[in-house]
Structure 1
Amino acid sequence: MTDHIVTDYIVETDGLSRDFKGFTAVDSVSLKIRRGTIHALIGPNGAGKTTCFNLLTKFLEPSRGAITFNGRDITRLRPADVARLGMVRSFQISATFGHLTALENVRVALQRPLGTSFQFWRSDASLARLNDRAMALLGDVGLAEFAAVPAVELSYGRKRALEIATTLALDPEMLLLDEPTSGMGHEDVGRIAALIRRVANNRTVLMVEHNLSVVAGLSDTITVLARGQILAEGPYSEVSENPEVIEAYMGTGHA
């Protein structure tokens, strides 16, 4: 395989599996995530979603199988190496600093490509050239008016939006979101869903999400996992009518 092959699919897995002391949490999962789309990974509790997500972002090593990103085998790469290639997981890599303002948080993230990350001793003047880009990113996530507010004082939903802004500062080609609306009230859910739609305009998004109304409104393709295997895949209108999917969510079996 060559180093870089541009295909319709930005991420592909082949027989991806992960065992934990004899228990197979992810069992021969073969995914194809189409470039420029929003792809959701859903399933009942215990279905293997989080494990699969951790495998893709290299926070777990697979027991078997392979992962490619842009045609490049990333199966054995470290999370930081995968992020440098352009596949970034939000809410983990992009932890915010509570004592810094929203603007300062984004500015720190913008320093990473410059090789000056976290050099807080640098003068404000030397970092000022990053302010315009930082403000633009805050505007993108609806936080421009909160630029001077310390992150610790932001509401839960706005903190999540700030985390997305710091992730976007890395200019990822693919953004992975782990439960982006978890624990949010209705207003924040709507705000974050609209934000996901905006940031997906020029990149691929993969998200694990429990809120099926969010999934239905955003996703181009949905992969349903159950017991570590792919149960169904397709648009929401199709998978939501699948009897096996309905049974997995409504029945009494483990997933």
Structure 2
Amino acid sequence: MTASAAAQSGPRVVLTARGLGKDFAGFKAVNNVDLDVRHAQIHALIGPNGAGKTTVFNLLTKFLQPTRGRIELLGTDITRTKPDKVARMGLVRSFQISAVFPHLTVLENVRVALQRPGGLSTQFWRPLSSLDRLNGRADQLIDDLGLSEYRDARAADLSYGRKRVLEIATTLALEPQVLLLDEPMAGMGQEDVRMVAGIIRDVAQDRAVLMVEHNLNVVADICDHVTVLQRGEIIASGDYARVSADPRVRTAYMGNEE
């Protein structure tokens, strides 16, 4: 490949789906979906309610097995791989509902997440003080995500937006190559939306991010690539300017940006 061709091809593809499909009792919830998620880019998966976005997420993270198609992570076929192994391979997901321990501090939440890559997740016989060696990495993550002033605060006492940021910190503790975010802005006010959007942009500097998001202003602002689903099938793909001008997308949304 020539240098110019390499430049045109862009960052390397780290997560691929080809012909991905899922049937439920004969109903095609997802049909013939192709995705290429690239390193150091933010890729949005959007569409009206019921378009199949969450089902695609569940297929990629192996919470559901596909009826047909193939999924590759970092060049390895993971189509039939179990979810826990996929996570260890570098594909990590957050959920719509914040999943942190409310009665632990921010530091303690991040330390819990660091136990697996730190080799402590199964060493239950060790004293609690053995987790102190994780403090340096935990503090780095906390600082990187703007949570330093909340380090010793209970997660339950954080604002909703800060809880979502803490959840991102705990997923980053697993050292993902590909981070999947399921509606990260859901339920947030504008100030929190701006904060979390900026953090996602920073996070994507050295890993791929695939996100389901209903806030089209955020999608337009931070996403490098957008894939639009309707009734389980892709109807448009490209940058935001291209897909937002597509008449099929306009028809699918019927002017409703939810």
TM-score where L is the length of structure 2? 0.90
Q: Residue 130 of structure 1 is aligned with which of 127, 134, 154?
A: 134
Deviation at 1:119, TM superposition (A): 6.3
Matching of residue 98 in structure 1 with residue 98 in structure 2 = no
Partner of 2:4: none
Q: Which residue of 2 aligns with 1:198?
A: 202
Which secondary structure state, in structure 1, belongs to the residue aligned with residue 138 of structure 2? Answer: helix
Cα drift, residue 9 of structure 1: 1.1
Give SS of 1:112's match: coil
Distance 1:95 1:115, change over 3 A: farther
Residues 185 and 204 from structure 1, CA distance in 2 versus in 1: closer, same or farther, beyond 3 angstroms?
Answer: same
User: 172, 178, 182: which one pairs with 2:176?
Assistant: 172
Letter in structure 2 aligned against 1:189 = V
1:185 maps to 189
Which of 198, 210, 213 is matched with 2:214 structurally?
210
Kept in 1, the 8 Å contact 2:145–2:165? The answer is yes
What is the CA-CA distance between 1:200 and the residue it aligns to? 0.5
Mark the CA change 1:49 to 1:121 in structure 2 (over 3 Å): closer, same or farther. Answer: same
Give me the whole-angstrom Cα distance separating, in 1, the residues matched to 2:53 and 2:124. 37
Instruction: Tell me the number of residue pairs that the alignment of Structure 1 and Structure 2 aligns.
Output: 246
Asked if 1:45 is matched to 2:28, the reply is: no
1:96-146 per-position Cα deviation (integer Å, ceiling 9, x unaligned):
111110000101111112332286774453222211111110111111110
Question: Which of 152, 155, 160 is the aligned partner of 2:156?
Answer: 152
Instruction: Report the TM-score, using the length of structure 1 for normalisation.
Output: 0.91
- Asked if the contact 1:41–1:49 (Cα under 8 Å) also holds between the matched residues in 2, the reply is yes
Question: What does residue 240 of structure 1 align with?
Answer: 244
Gaps of 5+ in 2: 1-10
Q: Secondary structure at the match of 1:97?
A: coil
After the TM superposition, which segments of 4 or more aligned residues of structure 1 sit over 3 Å from their partners? 91-94, 118-125
Percent identity over the alignment is: 62
Question: Which stretch has the larger CA shift, 26-35 or 57-66?
Answer: 26-35
> Partners of 1:97 and 1:192 in 2: how far apart?
20
Which whole-Å CA distance do the structure 2 matches of 1:175 and 1:242 have between them?
Answer: 28
